[in-house]
Structure 1
Amino acid sequence: MEILLEELYKIDLTASHYVERKLQLDHQSYQINGVAQSGKTELVKAYLLTCKKSSYLYIDLDDVRIDIDELNEKLQAFCTANKIDILVLDNYTPQIKIINVSQLIICSRRHYELDFLITKTLYPLDLEEFLAFESRYDSTAISHYLQIGGFAAMHRVSTDNRAKYIQERFRYALSSLEFDILQTATRFVGQKLSAFNVYEKLKLKRKVSKDMLYKSFETMVSDNYLHQLAKLNHPKATKKIYLCDIIFKHTITIQKNFARIFENMVFLEMFKNGVECFYDEGVDFYLPNKSEIILCMPFAEERMLFKKLESIESFIFSNQIQNITCVTMSKEGSISHPISKVEMIPFLEWALSD
């Protein structure tokens, strides 16, 4: 193990494709959580490359050469002997003993109760971060975002290999049951979907216990692969389901529904910015703290919007909605309404606004 540690210590790290993220690291100790391909490794390597090379040791615990028991036995002595100040444990597992170093950074898809670490969650790129990869801030950038989603690595994957790349990476990152849950959820984006619904569908194609399915479904939600949206004032009602990234809709199912992809894209922008929202019948997103409704209508025009407002008129009046925002692909404008300010705003403008 000493030979392997010496090799890892001397190796030159690279982060040649790294584009700066909103999440930044400093000298403190961190636990960085995030789904596979969210950019945890690139974030950490980019930080390490700003530090003195002899001061850090980066270990990827998915390395098959690593024996956990031997690593636990040798790691503290190695770090002490080489005066290592910064230790990074990528793909962390609780089997690893925490040792004494000035700065510890662990990366994992799952959150662990380690109170001495500052916990940060890294999500796939939001639109603003995505645009840092793009040369133009216009409809072509949005079209590209719709094609490849928020996983930064997809910028380096050719069009013909995208589906294979995603399938291979997430079949490795997830258990077989978790991958099947993800694939099932992909077919129901923006719709009501419970763990029981998923169980009813999966039991027709594979052997699975209800308890195991429920546990795996909860894990997928807690690990942020799936997001749930509650119904307003009905916490026990079936929640709507959204994906952590829209790329899954293109790559692990043949079902196409642009309106659902667009709705998922709008949801992710609000989720990543910590916006509290709910759904209601006919209402895509209700933001109580802003007294606002968000409607996802990529190809809306005034007549369609008028008709939509008529269908949710009782909700608008009973909740005294002040603002109604219709997020579109490119259409913009406003229409009159008795109590609400109603605007159609292109997604690019809406996502980059304060």
Structure 2
Amino acid sequence: MFLSPGHTRTVAAAPVDSTAIRTEGLRKVYPRADGDLVAVESLELTVRQGEFFGLLGTNGAGKSTTIGMLTTLVTPTAGSAWVAGQEVTADPVGVKSRIGVVSQNNTLDGALTVVDNLAFRGRYFGMPASAARRRATELLEQFGLADKATARAHQLSGGQARRVMIGRALMHLPEVLFLDEPTAGVDPQARDDLWQIIKALHKDGQTVVLTTHYLDEAEALCQRLAVIDHGRLLASDTPEAIKASSGARTVITVRYDADAAPAAEAAHRIPGGPHDVAVDGPTVRVRTTRPDGVLAHLLRAGSAAGLTVRDAVTTPPSLQTAFLTLTGRDYKP
């Protein structure tokens, strides 16, 4: 944990029903010669102040486009969005002054020192030079990077650079912090460090909006989630509620050495059903609320059909199975 023992933030406590972000019919279409690409379609979201909210979806689902519209970097094709009380197209300057953004890519100035990367951002938002330098130093101490203050940004590791970028985004005490895939491409230890930093910021009252394609990250960090697929909102609630409302079930998957149709036929007769049985070449997948005995039945059915099992996996109800239930396909980041 990188918060210093006596550290406090000045993020004001907000009423439970206050709103940090709201969208109505938000849409983004990219014209193309071979047909328009609908990146986001009719998105309806609400994020409360002080909430840790996640946008979960595979690569290309529309998460980054959504963040782009909410942070004024992408112009919506239709619909409206309000961030920290400002409409993103009517008052983009007002929105920018109230948000902090950490992008997927390293956007630090590699030729500047680490402390200057932060201090210059503070100056950009109107902070006096001495106040900006003091704030930058405090943030580097908070994030365990005081010893890197005079290093050039290009000398940092991937995880260190992400921590500096988060610190830079917090220089002007934003009302909403946007994190776009903050742990993508970092090593496991750096990922854990970033998780601890982000959790501590949220505990201090910071509203956080996170995009991620990591299911475990979404479950570990987010109070509520929006599951997005092909630009459309599939579900929005707490992780537990999404799993429950989607009818997420245990999934038993068995892969044989040849076409699984004979075993799939037998799977329809498994006791405790009806079960949802799907076959795809050598693979049989059974989704069920009564998993006891299903795997054993599939193994016997395969053996009786002269098939050899190559792989067998039982997946309990999870965001993975919720996504499968919502979309009809596996979650593949």
TM-score, normalised to structure 2's length? 0.26
Larger % of strand: which? 2
TM-score (norm 1): 0.25
Higher-helix-fraction structure: 1
